């Protein structure tokens, strides 16, 4: 063609276009489309890729939209392909079936390629699109199944779970469960061909193009394909029918005969190894004959890999191990178990499974069942090593750190122990030795280890051991029924040996003066768990055997609550429960209890007393009490009455426990209280009441508190009936006397209240707050008397507070009342409770000068009142009736207003209390509640009462008050919403006038008077009070008149540092009034009024810019904030005025606003963040001003930013193509992204976000004077000032996030340097992404913008050679292009690179040709 002799570009090693096309075609399918059977590899088999028509035929046969999408699927860009796949799925769903069927001839080749794409999102979207295709074409897919099915199976085994799930869903949509084996049978040879080729032929370089795909991506795809292929074989075998599996065995034999296949068992990637062992397991399960033939390679590959503890591999390895030992009888002939398998197993067990016990240990018992004698001989040594290693795993680091891992190991140990004992139950000597070894050297040491280990105690060990003992007991009973001789069976011997050894173990720990409390607790826990579980197991298994208990058998029951009166016959007595089990338990408990009592009596051992309490809590039987009561006594020498002889538990309680309880110096009595109830469980109700009455009169209140707390627990278990004692007069009188004593002591000796009576107050709170079956815990009479006493004491606060500090007493009463109100349903139906709540409300509604209460105590009283009112409204059908709380509160408030001379502070406290009460009622019952109507009716004065109230209030308060609502104007049709609104109006008016100070009415009008009137007026206006337009115009006219007569009130051009607080507040109220006008009444403003408003706003803003040094004054801050609020409301108003309002505005107002005032506002406001604020280290930093100014700046038009009047700011050596105002804006505001105040950072972001879309349009406008070389600089470059922020913050962000893993998070303290830096970094990136999105000048996503921007840059730099110094087109720091050319070799270099080359080499020669560089 005339171009053969052309010189090729240096470095161009790419083949010709025809060669690249051929290579691409072979990579995609292995064949040239259209020629069936011509594979790229030397093989006799035809290729599985179908023949497809050429692209030119696609153009003629496929719908144009489908044709466009299919072409995009072959693009290199990931985003383009992803979007194309999604569009394809949508089109398949929306288009007609016939149109979609036209795509089918070309779909197999495309699907086989994109279903294996590098990007997992594309693979997932491909399967979702395939599902839509399947649902649309249905049976028309059948001719193409063989071409699709191989990669379809691969996709169902994708390592990316969403993609695999989507492929499975598509498969299920195509075939019902009954049709799936048939479809796979039809395509089985093609499927296996695809999988075998990947496993035996393909490599990372053949699956991906080495020239266009990185090595890392190629390797990742290869690993993924290997994993999917191995899992695909497993899936295929599991779904095929047996006949089809047999048909494939010959081809599978070819696969497993390959040496390459077996290398996957040692692959470096865990995913591949795991998939390999899963496939081997399926081969064992579905093709046993095949694996038997390959046993010589399969057995070592599986059995010698048990030390592979990678979490991905281990489960499949052990699944394969179990399959191998089950499927291949002679598997151990191919492996040296003694040297290869068992040492690895021992190491694995000693390490606790290396953190994989959950996946490993449950396989050990099945493995034990399959081990032949040749592996386990000698059995004693094998089992010794096995269980020793097993239990040693509990000491591993992972087992210590993870309770769940420890529990798994313990469970498997006990299960294996139980299995091994069951396998060795004969009387031969070797099995007897094995049983003895397992009992004495494994099980008992494990239990002993648990006694000092809380983790093992709280785990499943004790439960599992008990289940094993119960199983032995049942088997012993079965053997006893079968055997006729008197010889003991094996399980009886096991039980006897176990309990004897366990008893000796327990005695060794208990019979020690320095016994370990943790071990003692472990012994008690083991016995308790064993008893409870054994009982439940026997009841569950033997409940069908009904046996009525005999009177004499009642003393032998060993279960908790044996002394409780039964409503009917006992279903299971001691015999049914298991006499041998019960006997063992009680024998051990009695022995331990005797030892404990010896140590308590002789050594006064507290730890043994606690242990005895634990024992009796579970084993409170008459036999145990009889043994411990008479252990050191001779019955013949002591005369006992008949009652005590019949009930040793009562004797133990009277002579032992009640002697220990009041001992001096005893701090902890909780275990002794437990002993009380253990003894009472064996007593009748009459005895229980008598004993508790005796205790409540003789013991300390702290002990009684513990007893009642314990009673509250057992009320729901019914183990001891204490209701007669709780409701009785003895306890009631004692508690009432305690309450009176506490109140008396609190009044007379307040300093001792907090130190001595906390337990007593807790007791009172407990008996008041606890209810059972909707009844009080104590008698209702005594409950009301206690509430009366508390109410009376609280009512006396005013008269007693002058003589002493009542706060501790009131604080205790508050705590009791709060618990009572919040925990007892319908508690306020009791009249004393409502009276108590009223007293609390009255205390919160009175000034502290009258109550003498501290702020903290008042806060507590307010919380009590809140809880009480909520309980009043929530838990009862409450009505406002005479004598009730709401009625009494309203009457009391009216009485305060009418009869008491209130000062300003007292009135304010009263108003706040009433407002809080109303808000609480509204929050619970809503604004439509009838309670509000009734309450407001009581609160509303009559005309006469309004007059009296005005006369009673101070002059500055009463002057503007009028009567908006009275009883005479009330009628039944008044809505609740109107009443609430009028009430809010009245309250807000009152609050406004409360801010007025006392002034002399004869001194004329002053700024304080005006400020007060304006403040009250605004309170009324903000409460949506109806007001006529004429009144508003008159008020505005008055304010405008002040502009002429009292200009100093407006603070125009004033030095704010010298202005008084009152004057600033007056100006603030005027600004607020103008803001209200803009929002609510803009139509009353005429031309002059608008001029006054806008000019005043601008003058105030100018005053702000002249007084930036005064911004640290809080009153100046308020002035600035309110003016910026006015600016914001003006911006909002002029941005979108409604047509009705727009008609009434002056004709030229809009143009004046946009043409003059907007420019004036932002010329003053834009420099403010730069000039007014330093770093916010000062505690009084004006953050509120910064926030409000930031809000106002967000409304700045883009034109004001691009044509700003900021002082020029440029950076040396900064190259830019932007206009000077825009570059100044960037250089001024970009550094503020790192300002240590979040409001300013966010404001700067919003400002810069407005101009980012303008940068591409303005880029190049400022380069008119640049030379030709300079014009080679790349346009559309990111702003250098923004890139500087990223460079500054990048290192800090890296150091902060270096140790944070994916999925974790790091907490950064707000207001810290790190917080500001990270926020600025993130905001800078958002701006940069916005710039990239805007660079293509089109609508689309940021990713599309980045991609298009990159393509534009690539096109611009296409053909430009690299700089031969840095080997890059774009310089790394200044982003310039190589433009300094050598006159000899014509190569171009970056100017900065040449400068560095010349200075470092001390030569002026060309770096390439070494000629002198001119």
- Sort 993 into a burial class: Cβ within 10 Å, 0-12 / 13-18 / 19+: buried
1177 confidence band (pLDDT: 50, 70, 90): low
Question: Does the pTM exceed 0.85?
Answer: no
Residue 266 CA, distance from chain mean position = 40
Using alpha carbons, select from 331, 330, 334, 251 the residue that is nearest to residue 287.
251
Strands (E) across 259-381 are located at none
H helix or E strand, kind and range, residue 290: helix 288-293
Whether the bond between 378 and the residue before it is cis, its omega within 30 degrees of 0, is: yes
545 confidence band (pLDDT: 50, 70, 90): very low
Tell me, what's the pLDDT at 757?
A: 56
Over residues 948-973, the mean pLDDT reads 43
The dihedrals phi and psi of 1176, each to the nearest 5 degrees, come to -80, 60
Tell me, what's the pLDDT at 175?
A: 92
Give the residue carrying structure tokens 């000032």: 1281
Inter-axis angle of helices 403-422 and 461-482, to 10 degrees? 20
Residue 237 CA, distance from chain mean position = 42
Percent of the chain with pLDDT strictly greater than 70: 78
Over residues 712-740, the mean pLDDT reads 74
Q: Cα(1197)–Cα(1195) distance, rounded to whole angstroms?
A: 6
Q: Looking only at Cα atoms, what is the longest distance across the chain? A: 135
Query: Which ranges constitute the DSSP H helices of 337-402?
Result: 342-350, 357-360, 364-370, 373-376, 379-392, 397-401
Whether the bond between 500 and the residue before it is cis, its omega within 30 degrees of 0, is: no
Tell me, what's the pLDDT at 483?
A: 57
Q: Are the C-beta atoms of 445 and 391 separated by less than 8 Å?
A: yes
Q: Residues in the chain, how many?
A: 1414
488 confidence band (pLDDT: 50, 70, 90): low
317 confidence band (pLDDT: 50, 70, 90): very high
Percent of the chain with pLDDT strictly greater than 90: 17
Tell me, what's the pLDDT at 222?
A: 93
Q: Cα(1360)–Cα(1377) distance, rounded to whole angstroms?
A: 9
Over residues 467-471, the mean pLDDT reads 86
Radius of gyration of the chain (CA): 46
Using alpha carbons, select from 1179, 1232, 1234 the residue that is nearest to residue 1209.
1232
Q: Are the C-beta atoms of 428 and 489 separated by less than 8 Å?
A: no
Using alpha carbons, select from 657, 637, 635 the residue that is nearest to residue 645.
635
Over residues 665-691, the mean pLDDT reads 77
DSSP 657: I
Question: Given CA atoms 651, 652, 653, 654 in this order, what sign does their dihedral have?
Answer: positive
Tell me, what's the pLDDT at 707?
A: 77
- Report CA-CA distances (Å) from 440 to 76, 493, 668: 71, 14, 38
Over residues 450-471, the mean pLDDT reads 86
Q: Cα(259)–Cα(324) distance, rounded to whole angstroms?
A: 20
Checking if the pLDDT of 627 tops 90, the result is no
Tell me, what's the pLDDT at 1338?
A: 52
1032 confidence band (pLDDT: 50, 70, 90): confident
Least confident of 74-83, 304-313, 981-990: 981-990
Give the residue carrying structure tokens 């000077």: 1220
Checking if the pLDDT of 901 tops 80, the result is no
Tell me, what's the pLDDT at 947?
A: 64
Average pLDDT over all residues of the chain = 77
Tell me, what's the pLDDT at 190?
A: 92
H helix or E strand, kind and range, residue 772: strand 771-772
Over residues 145-166, the mean pLDDT reads 92
Q: 538 Cβ partners below 8 Å, 6+ apart? A: 470, 572, 576, 577, 578, 581
1345 confidence band (pLDDT: 50, 70, 90): low
pLDDT digits (tens, 9 = 90+) for 808-836: 777 788 877 777 777 766 665 677 778 88
Q: Are the C-beta atoms of 1347 and 79 separated by less than 8 Å?
A: yes
Q: Cα(761)–Cα(548) distance, rounded to whole angstroms?
A: 49
Checking if the pLDDT of 773 tops 70, the result is no
H helix or E strand, kind and range, residue 156: helix 145-156
DSSP 1412: B
Residues 1060-1083, buried b or exposed e (16+ Cβ, 10 A)?
eeebbbbbbbbbbbbbbbbeeebe
Checking if the pLDDT of 52 tops 60, the result is no
Q: Are the C-beta atoms of 1038 and 984 separated by less than 8 Å?
A: no
Least confident of 48-62, 213-227, 1216-1230: 48-62
Query: Which ranges constitute the DSSP H helices of 1166-1231?
Result: 1168-1172, 1183-1193, 1198-1202, 1220-1229
1002 confidence band (pLDDT: 50, 70, 90): very low
Over residues 54-58, the mean pLDDT reads 44
Tell me, what's the pLDDT at 803?
A: 39
Tell me, what's the pLDDT at 39?
A: 38
DSSP string, 1346-1401: HHHHHHHHHHHHTTPPPPTTT--SS-TTT-----EE-TTT--EE-HHHHHHHHHHH
482 confidence band (pLDDT: 50, 70, 90): low
pLDDT digits (tens, 9 = 90+) for 910-926: 888 888 888 888 888 87
DSSP string, 851-894: H---HHHHHHHHHHHHHHHHHHHHSS-----TTSHHHHHHHHHH
User: How would you write 781-850 as a 3-class SS string?
Assistant: HHHHHHHHHHHHHHHCHHHHCCCCCCHHHHHHHHHHHHHHHHHCCCHHHCHHHHHHHHHHHHHHCCCHHH
pLDDT digits (tens, 9 = 90+) for 561-619: 333 333 332 223 333 334 445 677 778 888 888 888 888 888 787 888 888 888 888 77
The more confident residue out of 8 and 1310 is 1310
Least confident of 44-48, 280-284, 890-894, 1369-1373: 44-48
pLDDT digits (tens, 9 = 90+) for 859-883: 888 888 888 888 877 765 667 777 7
pLDDT digits (tens, 9 = 90+) for 1058-1088: 888 888 888 888 898 899 988 888 888 888 8
Please, how many CA atoms are within 13 Å of residue 889, restricted to the half-sphere of its CB?
32
Checking if the pLDDT of 6 tops 90, the result is no
Tell me, what's the pLDDT at 437?
A: 92
CB atoms within 10 A of CB 644: 14
Tell me, what's the pLDDT at 486?
A: 42
DSSP 48: S
Q: 490 Cβ partners below 8 Å, 6+ apart? A: 425, 426, 427, 435, 479
Q: Are the C-beta atoms of 1409 and 1385 separated by less than 8 Å?
A: yes
Checking if the pLDDT of 234 tops 90, the result is yes
Checking if the pLDDT of 752 tops 60, the result is no
Q: Are the C-beta atoms of 62 and 102 separated by less than 8 Å?
A: yes
Checking if the pLDDT of 1 tops 50, the result is no
Over residues 1314-1337, the mean pLDDT reads 84
Pairing of strands 1380-1381, 771-772: unpaired
Using alpha carbons, select from 1318, 1236, 1332, 1220 the residue that is nearest to residue 1277.
1332
Residue 139 CA, distance from chain mean position = 48
Tell me, what's the pLDDT at 762?
A: 77
The more confident residue out of 51 and 541 is 541
Residue 822 CA, distance from chain mean position = 29
Please, which residues bridge with residue 1388 across strands? 1381
Q: Cα(858)–Cα(1330) distance, rounded to whole angstroms?
A: 55
Q: Cα(424)–Cα(383) distance, rounded to whole angstroms?
A: 12
1004 confidence band (pLDDT: 50, 70, 90): very low
Checking if the pLDDT of 635 tops 70, the result is no
Residue 665 CA, distance from chain mean position = 48
Tell me, what's the pLDDT at 874?
A: 76
Over residues 1032-1052, the mean pLDDT reads 84
Over residues 1146-1161, the mean pLDDT reads 88
Checking if the pLDDT of 170 tops 90, the result is yes
125 confidence band (pLDDT: 50, 70, 90): very high
Checking if the pLDDT of 795 tops 80, the result is no
H helix or E strand, kind and range, residue 710: helix 701-714
DSSP 927: T
Tell me, what's the pLDDT at 121?
A: 92
């Amino acid at each position: 063609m005339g171009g053969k002799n052309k010189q090729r570009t240096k470095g161009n090693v790419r083949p010709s276009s025809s060669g690249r096309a051929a290579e691409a075609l072979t990579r995609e399918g292995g064949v040239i489309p259209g020629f069936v059977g011509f594979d790229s590899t030397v093989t006799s088999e035809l290729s599985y890729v179908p023949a497809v028509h050429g692209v030119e035929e696609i153009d003629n046969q496929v719908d144009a939209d489908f044709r466009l999408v299919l072409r995009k699927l072959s693009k290199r860009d990931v985003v383009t392909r992803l979007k194309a796949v999604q569009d394809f799925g949508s089109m398949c769903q929306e288009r007609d079936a016939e149109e979609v069927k036209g795509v089918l001839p070309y779909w197999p080749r495309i699907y086989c390629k994109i279903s294996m794409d590098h990007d997992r999102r594309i693979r997932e979207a491909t399967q979702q699109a395939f599902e839509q295709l399947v649902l649309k074409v249905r049976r028309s897919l059948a001719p193409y199944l063989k071409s699709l099915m191989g990669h379809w199976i691969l996709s169902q085994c994708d390592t990316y779970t969403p993609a695999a799930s989507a492929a499975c869903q598509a498969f299920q949509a195509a075939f019902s469960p009954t049709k799936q084996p048939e479809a796979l049978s039809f395509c089985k040879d093609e499927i296996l061909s695809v999988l075998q080729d990947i496993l035996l032929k393909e490599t990372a370089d053949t699956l991906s193009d080495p020239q266009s795909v990185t090595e890392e991506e190629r390797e990742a795809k290869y690993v993924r394909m290997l994993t999917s292929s191995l899992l695909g074989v497993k899936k295929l075998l599991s779904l095929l029918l047996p006949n089809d599996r047999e048909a494939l065995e010959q081809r599978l034999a070819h696969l497993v005969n390959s040496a390459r296949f077996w290398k996957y068992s040692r692959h470096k990637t865990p995913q591949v190894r795991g998939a390999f062992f899963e496939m081997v397991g399926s081969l064992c399960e579905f093709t046993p004959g095949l694996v038997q033939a390959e046993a010589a390679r399969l057995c070592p590959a599986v059995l010698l890999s048990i030390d592979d503890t990678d979490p991905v591999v281990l489960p499949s390895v052990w699944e394969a191990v179990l399959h191998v030992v089950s499927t291949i009888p002679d598997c151990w002939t191919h492996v040296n178990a003694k040297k290869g398998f068992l040492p690895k197993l021992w190491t694995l067990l000693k390490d606790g499974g290396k953190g994989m016990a959950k996946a490993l240990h449950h396989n050990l018992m099945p493995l034990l069942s399959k081990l032949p004698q040749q592996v386990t001989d000698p059995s004693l040594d094998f089992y010794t090593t096995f269980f020793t290693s097993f239990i040693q795993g509990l000491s591993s680091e992972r087992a210590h750190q993870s309770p769940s891992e420890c529990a798994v190991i313990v469970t498997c140990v006990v299960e294996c122990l139980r299995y091994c004992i069951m396998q060795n139950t004969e009387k031969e000597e070797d099995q007897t030795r094995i049983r003895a070894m397992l009992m004495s050297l494994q099980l008992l040491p494990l239990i002993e280890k648990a006694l000092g280990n809380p983790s093992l105690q709280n785990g499943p060990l004790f439960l599992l051991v008990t289940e094993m003992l119960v199983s032995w007991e049942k088997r012993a009973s079965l053997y006893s029924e079968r055997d006729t001789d008197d010889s003991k069976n094996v399980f009886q011997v096991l039980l006897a040996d176990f309990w004897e050894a366990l008893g000796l173990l327990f005695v060794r720990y208990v019979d020690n003066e320095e016994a370990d409390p943790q071990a003692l607790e472990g012994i008690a826990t083991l016995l308790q768990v064993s008893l409870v579980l054994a009982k439940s197991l026997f009841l569950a298994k033997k409940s069908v055997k009904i046996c009525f208990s005999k009177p004499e058998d009642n003393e032998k029951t060993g279960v908790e609550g044996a002394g409780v009166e039964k409503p009917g016959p006992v279903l299971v007595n001691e015999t049914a429960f298991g006499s041998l089990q019960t006997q063992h338990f009680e024998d051990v408990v009695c022995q331990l209890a005797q030892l404990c009592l010896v140590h308590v009596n002789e050594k006064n051992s507290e730890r043994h007393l606690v242990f005895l309490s634990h024992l009796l809590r579970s084993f409170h039987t008459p036999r145990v009490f009889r043994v411990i009561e008479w252990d050191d006594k001779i019955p013949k020498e002591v005369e006992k009455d008949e009652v005590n002889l019949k009930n040793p538990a009562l004797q133990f309680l009277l002579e032992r426990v009640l002697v220990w309880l009041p001992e001096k110096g005893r701090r902890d009595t909780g275990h002794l209280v437990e002993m009380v109830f253990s003894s009472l469980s064996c007593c009748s109700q009459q005895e229980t009441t008598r004993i508790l009455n005796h205790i409540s009169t003789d013991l300390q209140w702290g002990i009684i508190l513990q007893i009642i707390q314990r009673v509250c627990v057992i009320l729901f278990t019914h183990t001891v009936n204490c209701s007669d004692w709780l409701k009785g007069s003895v306890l009631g009188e004692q508690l009432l006397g305690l309450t009176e004593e506490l109140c008396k002591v609190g009044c007379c000796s307040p300093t001792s209240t907090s130190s001595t009576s906390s337990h007593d107050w807790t007791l009172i709170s407990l008996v008041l707050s606890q209810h059972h079956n909707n009844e009080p815990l104590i008698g209702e009479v005594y409950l009301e008397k206690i509430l009366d006493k508390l109410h009376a004491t609280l009512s006396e606060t005013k008269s007693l507070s002058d003589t002493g500090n009542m706060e501790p007493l009131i604080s205790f009463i508050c705590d009791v009342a709060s618990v009572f109100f919040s925990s007892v349903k319908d508690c306020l139906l009791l009249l004393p409770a409502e009276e108590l709540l009223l007293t609390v409300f009255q205390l919160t509604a009175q000034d502290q000068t009258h109550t003498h209460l501290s702020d903290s105590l008042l806060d507590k009283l307010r919380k009590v009142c809140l809880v009480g009112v909520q309980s009043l409204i929530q838990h009862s059908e409450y009505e406002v009736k005479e004598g009730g709380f709401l009625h009494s509160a309203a009457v009391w408030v009216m009485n305060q207003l009418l009869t008491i001379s209130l000062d300003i502070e007292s009135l304010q406290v009263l108003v706040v209390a009433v407002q809080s009460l109303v808000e609480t009622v509204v929050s619970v019952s809503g604004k439509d509640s009838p309670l509000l109507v009734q309450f407001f009716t009581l609160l509303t004065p009559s005309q006469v009462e309004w007059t009296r109230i005005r006369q009673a209030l101070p002059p500055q308060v009463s002057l503007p008050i009028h009567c908006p609502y009275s009883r005479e104007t009330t009628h039944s049709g008044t809505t609740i919403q109107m009443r609430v609104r009028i009430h809010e109006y009245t309250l807000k008016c009152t609050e406004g006038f409360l801010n007025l100070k006392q002034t002399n009415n004869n001194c004329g009008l002053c700024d304080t008077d005006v400020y007060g009137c304006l403040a009250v007026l605004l309170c009324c206006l903000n409460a949506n009070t109806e007001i006529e337009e004429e009144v508003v115009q008159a008020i505005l006219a008055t304010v405008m008149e002040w502009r002429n007569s009292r200009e100093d009130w407006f603070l125009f051009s004033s030095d704010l540092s010298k202005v008084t607080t009152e004057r600033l507040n007056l100006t603030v109220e005027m600004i607020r009034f103008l803001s209200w006008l803009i929002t609510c009444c803009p139509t009353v403003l005429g031309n002059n009024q608008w001029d006054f408003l806008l000019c005043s706003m601008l003058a105030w803003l100018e005053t702000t810019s002249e007084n930036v040094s005064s911004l640290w004054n809080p009153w100046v801050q308020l002035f600035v904030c309110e003016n910026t609020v006015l600016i914001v409301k003006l911006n909002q108003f002029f941005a979108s005025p409604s047509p009705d309002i727009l008609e009434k505005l002056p004709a030229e107002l809009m143009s004046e606003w946009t043409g003059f005032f907007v420019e004036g506002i932002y010329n003053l406001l834009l420099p403010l963040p730069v000039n007014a604020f330093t770093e916010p280290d000062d505690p009084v930093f004006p953050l509120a001003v910064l926030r409000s100014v930031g809000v106002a700046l967000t409304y700045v038009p883009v034109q004001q930013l691009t044509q700003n009047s900021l002082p020029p700011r440029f950076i040396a050596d900064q190259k830019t193509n932007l206009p000077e105002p825009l570059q100044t804006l960037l250089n001024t505001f970009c550094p503020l992204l790192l300002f240590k105040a979040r409001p300013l950072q966010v404001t700067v972001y919003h400002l810069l976000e407005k101009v980012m879309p303008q940068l591409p349009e303005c880029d190049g406008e400022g380069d008119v004077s640049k030379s030709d070389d300079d014009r080679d600089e790349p346009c559309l470059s990111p702003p250098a000032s923004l890139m500087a922020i990223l460079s500054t913050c990048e290192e800090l962000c890296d150091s902060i996030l270096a140790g944070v893993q994916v999925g974790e998070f790091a907490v950064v303290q707000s207001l810290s340097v790190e917080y500001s830096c990270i926020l600025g970094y993130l905001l800078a990136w958002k701006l940069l992404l916005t710039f990239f999105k805007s660079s293509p000048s089109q609508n689309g996503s940021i990713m599309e913008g980045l991609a298009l921007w990159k393509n534009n840059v690539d096109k611009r730099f296409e053909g430009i050679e690299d700089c031969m110094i840095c080997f890059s087109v774009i310089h790394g720091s200044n982003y310039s292009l190589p433009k300094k050319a050598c006159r000899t070799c014509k190569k171009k270099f970056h100017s900065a690179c040449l400068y560095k080359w010349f200075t470092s080499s001390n030569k002026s020669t060309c770096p390439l040709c070494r000629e002198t560089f001119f």
